[in-house]
């Protein structure tokens, strides 16, 4: 069974880092929108740390914001196997 979580932008960066560390062994499919919608750099920092994939929701309000998020590597969602692949 694949599980994902939606944080609805509830965490500051350091809190989100802790959330990712605390939930890493759950092998979540992704954590959606850990930080505030405008926190693109923070999401990019989370993606750069690896582990649970990050996806965005509230940040993406247009094609331009989607392109910006992808270009800044602020989201990275793929299928994650239970073995962490
Ligand atoms: Mg959402």
Ion ligand 1 — residues with CB < 5 Å? 6, 32, 57
* Residue 10 Cα to ligand 1 middle (Å): 11
Kindly state the average pLDDT of the residues 72-81. Answer: 74
Query: In the predicted model, is pLDDT for residue 77 greater than 90?
Result: no
**Residue 49 near residue 20 (C-beta atoms within 8 A):** yes
**Residue 20 near residue 46 (C-beta atoms within 8 A):** yes
* Residue 54 Cα to ligand 1 middle (Å): 12
Model confidence pLDDT, tens digit, residues 13-29: 999 999 999 999 999 99
Query: Whole-angstrom Cα distance, residue 66 to residue 80?
Result: 22
* Residue 84 Cα to ligand 1 middle (Å): 23
The closest alpha carbon to 29, from 55, 56, 2, 57, belongs to: 2
Helices (H), 10-85: 13-23, 40-49, 63-71
Residue 50: the pLDDT is 86
* Residue 75 Cα to ligand 1 middle (Å): 13
Kindly state the average pLDDT of the residues 37-53. Answer: 95
Collapsing DSSP to helix, strand or coil, 54 comes out as strand
């Amino acid at each position: 069974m694949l599980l994902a979580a939606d944080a609805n932008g509830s965490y500051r960066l350091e809190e989100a880092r802790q959330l990712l560390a605390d939930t890493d062994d759950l092998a979540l499919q992704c954590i959606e929108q850990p930080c505030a919608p405008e926190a693109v750099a923070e999401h990019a920092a989370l993606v750069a740390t690896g582990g649970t994939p990050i996806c965005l929701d509230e940040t993406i309000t247009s094609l331009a914001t989607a392109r910006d998020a992808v270009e800044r590597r602020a989201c990275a969602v793929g299928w994650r196997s239970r073995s962490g692949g």
